[in-house]
Amino acid sequence: MKVEQQIEWDERLWCTNAWGSGGVKNSGAYAFICAHYGLTFHSFGAMNFDHACRFALKQLNELNNVSPISPIFDYMLVDESQDFPQSFFDLCEKVTKETVYIAGDIFQSIFATEIISNITPDFLLSKCYRTDPRTLMFAHSLGMGLFEQQKLQWLEDDEWRACGYLVEKSAGDSLYRLKREPLRRFEDLANEDIKSTVLVLTNEVQGQDTESRILESINTIKANNPTVLAEDIGIIFLDNKNSSFQMADRLERSIPQHFGWTVNKAYETKKKIKDRLFISHRNHVKGLEFPFVICVASRISSAYGIRNSLYMMITRSFLQTYLIMPSEYNQQLYDQISTGLEIINARNCIEVQAPSQEEIVKIRTTITHSKADISFYDFVYQIFDELEIYPLFRPDLYETVKRTVGEKFARDNVREVIEFNYKIMLREQAQ
């Protein structure tokens, strides 16, 4: 651990983005490669990153055919590999002398169709040191709908293990107990009466609105943790819409009044700020962590994007997460997940009834459909075409489908809702 040489940034060691800007050599790996070899740089607006990397590779191969190119790096480490196309890794390999290390999260998307890819990793790191294991178990359960009658995702046993779970089965292998090994970072907390996740319902009629519930949660955090600072708390809104921004504006006024803390609306500043309480929505929190996180949701639908975002939001905390949601939209879901959360807190495991093989096939098929390059609107209208639904009824039927099943690519359910309501509409039209 002895320092014999100072780091020579941008000379011997680069820490940079993947893309970068044209004309700014050290702004990104792609920009650096283009500048060094005299390749055509393509900006973000011109084409996607995959095409840009493919074009650069093509030019490099053409140069190499004329005269062998020399590598510019000895080693490269690519982090967040799940965010990049294969062409970027190929480009990195082309310009690296020794080894390219590729690090990624196999659970970055909880709806990946293959948690374990065809590429076998050299090292599999199955422990998460940022988040309390109980919080992680709850986030996975809510994200994948494990406590609900109709599950949204299910993994094979080896996939559960790859994601850090110890798998125990009973009742003819139909009852699963999924456990995670305890971590020393959280051992003391697990032995105390501290809930890693707290569910909070709002009720406008009873005067328990979202803002008051947020302030109550902050007050509870302060009472239980006297040394907590403003920067230790992150408030994250699930919904990226006007009502969330209006709530943030109100909190910007009420939090200083109640606690003397200044607020940082990170969707405007684009960063964390010391000594300020962080407020943002789901699109600006990836890669961040806080001791305490307050997640604010409205209607929690079964849409995969919503559940994946909830999983990501809840796991931003390494001590405690509060999930605030209105009872008028989420009472049934609350009853299901609160029971599952009680088991996690009491037994340190997820206890869940496994779906049948037929249900698993449906789940995987549904996920595959949802990942196709098609909007939910187009998905429903394709079924309208299959059933030859009259154009007159399609707008109302579409709204009925959304209210009934949410924006969920469940073909059988959507088709059933359409057929049932279409018959009613035809009958009413005839009368």
Q: Once rounded to an integer, what is the mean pLDDT over residues 106-126?
A: 67
What is the pLDDT averaged over residues 159-166?
A: 87
Select from 144, 201, 149 the least CA-distant residue to 330: 201
- Report how far residue 256's alpha carbon sits from residue 263's, in angstroms, rounded to the nearest whole number: 8
| Distances from the Cα of 189 to the Cα of 126, 222, 251, angstroms | 21, 17, 30
Where are the alpha helices (H) located in 206-295, listed in sequence order?
210-224, 242-259, 266-269
Closest by CA position to 251, among listed 261, 242, 241: 261
Is the pLDDT at 107 greater than 90, yes or no? no
Strand partners, 320: 292
pLDDT of residue 29 exceeding 90: yes
Residue 372's closest CA among 113, 154, 46, 145?
Answer: 113
Tokens of 46: 């011109």
Token pair recorded at residue 290: 């806080």
Contact partners, residue 149, CB within 8 Å, separation at least 6: none
The candidate with the shortest Cα–Cα distance to 115, out of 143, 75, 77, is: 143
Q: What is the pLDDT of residues 169-216, one digit of tens each?
A: 998 888 999 999 876 655 555 445 678 899 999 987 776 799 999 999
Collapsed DSSP state (helix, strand, coil) of residue 246:
helix
pLDDT, tens digit, for every residue of 75-97? 999 988 877 888 999 999 999 99
pLDDT for the residue numbered 207: 66
Amino acid 66: pLDDT: 86
Torsion sign (Cα): 330, 335, 337, 341: positive
Going by C-beta distance under 8 Å and a sequence separation of 6 or more, which residues neighbour residue 193? none
Q: What is the pLDDT of residue 108?
A: 66
The pLDDT of residue 9 is 86
- Strands (E) located in 63-160: 73-78, 96-102
Coil/strand/helix, residue 150: coil
**The predicted structure's pLDDT at residue 191:** 47
- The answer to whether the CB of 103 falls within 8 A of the CB of 81 is yes
pLDDT band at 233, cuts 50/70/90?
A: very high
CA distance linking residue 249 with residue 238, whole number of Å: 16
Task: Report the b/e string of 224-254 with b at 16+ CB within 10 A.
Answer: eeeebebbbbbbbbbbeeeebbebbeebeee
Per-residue pLDDT, 117: 59
Model confidence pLDDT, tens digit, residues 290-299: 999 999 998 8
- Mean pLDDT for the chain overall: 87
Which DSSP category does 285 fall into?
Answer: -
CATH 2.60.40 fits 133-353, yes or no: no
pLDDT value at residue 299: 86
For residue 394, the surrounding DSSP H or E stretch is helix 394-405
Residue 303 is predicted with a pLDDT of 82
Query: What confidence score (pLDDT) does residue 178 get?
Result: 96
Given a cut of 70, is residue 114 above it in pLDDT? no
Nearest to 225, CA basis, from 319, 134, 346, 317? 319
Q: What pLDDT is stored for residue 405 in this prediction?
A: 77
Q: In 72-230, where does DSSP find H-type helix? A: 86-94, 133-144, 157-162, 187-191, 210-224
Backbone φ/ψ region at 232: left (φ over 0), alpha (ψ -120 to 50), beta: alpha
User: Rounded mean pLDDT of 116-132?
Assistant: 70
> What's the average model confidence in pLDDT over 114-128?
66
Q: Could you give the percent of the chain with pLDDT greater than 70?
A: 90
Question: Are 145 and 355 contacting, i.e. CB atoms less than 8 angstroms apart?
Answer: no
Q: Which two tokens stand for residue 372?
A: 């196709």
The residues, ordered by sequence, that sit 6+ positions from 417 with a Cβ below 8 Å of its Cβ are 400, 401, 404, 405
CB 318 within 8 A of CB 131: yes
Buried b (16+ CB within 10 A) or exposed e, 149-166: eebbbbbeeebbbbbbbe
Q: How far apart are CA 326 and CA 328, in angstroms?
A: 6
Name the token pair of 317.
């905390």
Q: What does the pLDDT read at residue 175?
A: 94
Q: Tell me if 181 sits within 8 A of 190, measured CB to CB.
A: no
pLDDT at residue number 412: 67
